[in-house]
């Protein structure tokens, strides 16, 4: 899941408005960033190290513990931990992830059905954004600029799919070059 992780961060914000998005978004993507950093540092390209359910539970516990020390609020820390943990079930839907490092992988592999993946992630983004929007004060709800959040995240998802699966946009390239 790509844009859906940001949607889940919005959803977490619904319950604990005091927790900054600048905390929730990085926490929602943390397993991806850990994997990218390990790979960039020359470590093994083994997603199960950062994405197994065991690794995600450990990461969520650490993130919640750190945030608890900063915020002094167990409820705020719990949302940080749950937002981190949301990465695994979201990736279970779209891909296949290990239960423990180097263990068997399970998942629905929605990535194999690109159109369905974009639709599901778009629905997740819109539903999470609608929940977030309900938590805002009334004057903020009336602003049309708020729609930039789900529209931008869905555009991000589509762009990521086009980058990841270049054959999908080959017809677009043909139209532009002819």
Percent of the chain with pLDDT over 70: 93
Q: Whose structure tokens read 């778009």?
A: 122
State how many domains the chain has: 1
- More confident call, 136 vs 35: 35
DSSP designation for 97: E
Count of CA atoms in the C-beta half-sphere (13 A) of 12: 30
pLDDT of residue 139: 78
The reported pTM is 0.88
3-state SS string over 117-134? Answer: HHHHHHHHHHHHHHHHHH
- Its domain, for residue 55, covers 3-177
The mean of the pLDDT values for the chain is 89
Q: How far apart are CA 146 and CA 111, in angstroms?
A: 28
Q: SS3 of 106, please?
A: strand
Q: What is the pLDDT of residues 115-148, one digit of tens each?
A: 889 999 999 999 999 999 988 887 777 777 888 9
C-alpha–C-alpha distance, residues 94 and 8, integer Å: 14
User: How do residues 68-114 score in pLDDT, each as one tens digit?
Assistant: 999 999 999 999 999 999 999 999 999 999 898 888 999 999 888 88
């Amino acid at each position: 899941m790509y844009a859906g992780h940001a949607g889940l961060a919005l959803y977490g914000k619904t319950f604990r408005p005091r927790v900054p998005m600048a905390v929730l978004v990085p926490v929602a993507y943390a397993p991806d960033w850990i994997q990218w950093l390990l790979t960039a540092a020359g470590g093994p390209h083994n997603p199960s190290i950062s994405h197994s359910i065991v690794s995600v539970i450990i990461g969520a516990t650490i993130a919640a513990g750190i945030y608890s020390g900063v915020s002094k609020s167990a409820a705020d820390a719990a949302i940080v931990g749950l937002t981190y943990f949301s990465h695994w079930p979201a990736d279970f839907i779209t891909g296949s992830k290990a239960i423990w490092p180097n263990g068997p992988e399970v998942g629905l592999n929605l990535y194999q059905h690109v159109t369905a993946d974009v639709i599901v992630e778009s629905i997740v983004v819109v539903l999470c954004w609608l929940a977030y929007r309900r938590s805002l004060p009334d004057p903020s709800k009336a602003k049309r600029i708020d729609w930039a959040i789900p529209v931008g995240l869905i555009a991000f998802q589509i762009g990521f799919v086009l980058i990841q699966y270049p054959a999908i946009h080959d017809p677009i390239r043909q139209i532009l070059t002819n």
